[in-house]
Structure 1
Amino acid sequence: MSEYRLLLIEDNPADAELVEDLLDDCAERGYVVERAGRLREALGLLEERPFDIALLDLGLPDSQGLDTLRLLVESAGGIPVVVMTGHQDRGTGTGAIRLGAQDFLPKEELHPALLARALHYAMERYRSQREVRLMATAFDSAQAIVVTDPQGRILRANHAFTRITGYAEDEVLGKNPRVLQSGRQDLEFYHRLWTELLENDHWEGEIWNRRRDGSVYPQWESISAVRNEAGQLEYFVAVFHDISEQKRLEAELEHEATTDRLTGLYNRQRFDAELDRALARTERYASEAGAILFDIDHFKRLNDTHGHDIGDRVLVELSRRVAHSLRRADFLARWGGEEFVVLLPETDAEGARYMAERLRREIAATPFEDAGPVTISLGVTILHRDDDPDTLLKRLDNALYDAKHAGRNCTAYHHRAPGEDADAEAPPLSLLQ
């Protein structure tokens, strides 16, 4: 049998004894009763330990009438209260209900069944009211909440939903949430979503949706299935929030981590990742790709003669010129210092050498402001299916070394590095100048 802690606030000993006797006769439930003869005493007990319910007489030595209830509710609002009234004072009982009491009982009508029923329903109503307030607070949270029926028709949407999507609740009631779809996810994505949701009663992930004004945004969404006691599906509840700012910050951090600050080109870290992908494509699909490593001839002399500010301007302008000459699919990165590297997808050996020589001539053809003529030396190779990053970069570095050793302002091509198995159809080294 469940036991409940009841605080009996009654100054009349006879009435208090009567209530306890009636509670003893409530066979279906047990109550542990503590008495308080004054309001101050009751408030002290409520501060010391929890109670499930309070049974309150409005006429106490230190407080009278509805003020007694008001002070009790204000000081200890986390407990349901049933008021006892006398003299058939139903007007006072009605006023007590308006002030927050769960029920009122005329003393002269008390009997075990009535008292037990009143206390039980008072606790149930209080619990239900708290749950309703909790759900209302949660529903008005900063996160968007959408409730649909099992067929996916929208039944409720909160204010955060309107703020994020631009749709008022009455505009989407009865509609399917697919009205928000952006088109960025394919049918396979939604198939996987629904499969996981129906198997596990839950799905969570990133999804792109479209606002009422047509703008597309990313959101983090959690969808849960709500079932009744028989296991039948009753609702779907989706909770989501806009992660546009989070994505923007992630993009900024990614940009800072993978971009050279001076030139705005990709840095060596990003190049390493791109090279891994290019080598994987070459191995898997036997696709052709070229690579160029180049640097500025006598760059130290340029810095010593004109100053580092002019040297930095040369690096920035050279980066702009090279990027302008490359194709959209090509990948350009600053390797470090005055060295740069280019990946040329879908490019054979002849195409890679042609691109390198084109870059060499274009850089040499136009003097740089405040620095005069600038030339570059270039090492060229192609990616092989059995290459790893170290092997390829060593071959590029050797080719660049040969270009410089040959007098600079020229292009050297290595098909294979010394010691590698060379393909019969191509020579290991060729120079263009």
Structure 2
Amino acid sequence: MSEISLKKQPVVLIIEDEPGDAELIRIQLLERDPKAFDVYLVPSLTEAKSQLEQKNLKPDVILLDLNLPDSTGPETVKRCRAIAPEVPLVVLTGLDDHQATEVAIEAGAEDYLSKGDDASSIRKAIRYALLRHDRDANERLALTVFNHAREGIMITSAQGIILEVNASFTRITGYSREEAVGHTPSLLSSGHHTPEFYEEFWVTLFERGHWEGEIWNRRKNGEVFVENMTVSAVRDPSGEITQFVALFTDITEQKEQQTQLEHLAHFDALTDLPNRVLFNYRLNQSTAYADRHGTRIAVAYLDLDGFKPVNDIHGHAAGDVVLQEVAKRMQACLRDEDTLARLGGDEFALVLESVQVPEYLDGLLERLQAAVSEAVAWKGHSLHVTASIGVTFYPQEPPVDISQLMHQADEAMYTAKQQGKNCYSLYPLSFS
């Protein structure tokens, strides 16, 4: 077989502590062409590291004796890999040291040579090591990406058995490679999704060859988390699915932040009551329900009496405590289907569902006023406020919209203020 020229003058680093053996190999490499290889000889890993780091030596291949003054056996391969991770290694062994050879290959060597091999075999081993290393470059790159990807990676068989996972899979799920391989992804199931969800998942995956979405899974410690996952089918040349590759990222924190932002967009930060946006939405829903089912709702506007003096005398911190306490007390007076919202400042609004006038309404308004009037303790002080409430009703004749309802309730509330505060007023309507 003719020798293969990969490079005009490959750099060969021979790590061998026996000077005679090292020199013999150098002669064998150069006997046919003194410029065939650029050869460097060092007696130890320590000296090799010095050449690579301090003298910037860049070998194309390393011939490595397993037994050196500073390292012996297969550990020598691992240590050499650490100082020259991208350089192909050819191990030098004794003639009958087959076991050491096998272990060295498993440790990361590309090939091996028995000391005493002829010159042609040595040159061919170097050429083949270079070719093999170049051929496997894409595989090594893929393995590097697999091991260092921030995304969790899970590879399964066509039957859904986990074949391989990466370090990020373990970091995210808590399951080691040994605990995951051989199981199915149901190992992570949280019980959050329905059988129909998984049925649609598999249908999409087989029909389109990929699926992307959010899945709620459970870590080894029992904690539920949310992942954004992409699953792709791997097919052989005949089109048959052989494997599935799943990539996922943990988006639990982002989901929590999103939930918090959505909550802030619809709820008052101080009292945690619905804000004006959510109140308007619920009011629209309530009027639509009343139209469909022939029921009546009450819409109330409530303003606190005496709140400004609390702020002026005791400060805004005291005012905040009053608002929080009053909000909790009023909420406790309502049914689950009713809505209490803070519109801003000391102004509140209510939607009271399926109201029969006056049986339910009178008693509720009195309870609300009593709840508001109860003293609020703050730093040794008893803080007092009362409520002026204006109420209107829906539906009406002629028909009114949401903004008209709120305007009527506001007018009725101001009437209550003019009547001496701490009372309620109904928007003047006649009911059939």
- Structures share fold, TM-score greater than 0.5: yes
Superposed, 1:227-306 pairs within 5 Å as 227-240=235-248, 243-252=251-260, 254-255=262-263, 258-266=266-274, 268=275, 271-276=276-281, 279=284, 286-287=291-292, 290-301=298-309
The CA deviation at 1:127 is 6.9
The 1:126–1:81 alpha-carbon spacing in structure 2 relative to 1, beyond 3 Å, is farther
SS in 2 for 1:151: coil
| Identical aligned residues as a percent | 28
1:397 aligned to 388, 410, 432, which one? Answer: 410
Q: Residue 29 of structure 2 contacts residue 36 of structure 2 at CA under 8 Å; is this kept in 1?
A: no
The equivalent residue for 1:315 is 323
The 1:373–1:45 alpha-carbon spacing in structure 2 relative to 1, beyond 3 Å, is closer
Deviation per CA, 1:210-261: give whole Å up to 9, x if none.
5678765434433332333444211223344655555445545555565445
1:109 aligned to 88, 109, 118, which one? Answer: 118
The residue identity in structure 2 corresponding to 1:362 is: R
The equivalent residue for 1:7 is 11
Q: Residue 55 of structure 1 contacts residue 84 of structure 1 at CA under 8 Å; is this kept in 2?
A: no
SS in 1 for 2:330: helix
The equivalent residue for 2:39 is 36
Q: Distance in 1 between matches of 2:209 and 2:220?
A: 29
Q: Distance in 2 between matches of 1:93 and 1:153?
A: 36
The CA deviation at 1:340 is 0.7
The residue identity in structure 2 corresponding to 1:233 is: I
The residue identity in structure 2 corresponding to 1:400 is: M
The 1:387–1:149 alpha-carbon spacing in structure 2 relative to 1, beyond 3 Å, is farther
The CA deviation at 1:368 is 1.8
1:224 aligned to 226, 232, 239, which one? Answer: 232
The equivalent residue for 2:429 is 430
Unaligned stretches of 5+ in structure 2?
A: 15-22, 376-381
The CA deviation at 1:322 is 1.3
The residue identity in structure 2 corresponding to 1:397 is: D
Deviation per CA, 1:22-61: give whole Å up to 9, x if none.
xxxxxxxxxx96523555899469976966x426498xxx
Range that drifts further, 175-184 or 300-309: 300-309
Superposed, 1:130-169 pairs within 5 Å as 131=139, 135=143, 138=146, 145-156=153-164
* Alignment coverage as a number of residue pairs: 390
The 1:375–1:283 alpha-carbon spacing in structure 2 relative to 1, beyond 3 Å, is closer
The CA deviation at 1:410 is 1.5
The equivalent residue for 2:351 is 343
2:368 aligned to 341, 360, 363, which one? Answer: 363
Q: Residue 293 of structure 1 contacts residue 341 of structure 1 at CA under 8 Å; is this kept in 2?
A: yes
The CA deviation at 1:339 is 0.5
TM-score (norm 1): 0.65
Q: Residue 227 of structure 1 contacts residue 234 of structure 1 at CA under 8 Å; is this kept in 2?
A: yes
Q: Residue 228 of structure 2 contacts residue 249 of structure 2 at CA under 8 Å; is this kept in 1?
A: yes
The 1:72–1:207 alpha-carbon spacing in structure 2 relative to 1, beyond 3 Å, is closer
Q: Residue 139 of structure 1 contacts residue 145 of structure 1 at CA under 8 Å; is this kept in 2?
A: no
The CA deviation at 1:133 is 10
The residue identity in structure 1 corresponding to 2:425 is: T
The 1:282–1:128 alpha-carbon spacing in structure 2 relative to 1, beyond 3 Å, is farther
The CA deviation at 1:313 is 4.5
Range that drifts further, 90-99 or 402-411: 90-99
The residue identity in structure 2 corresponding to 1:104 is: L
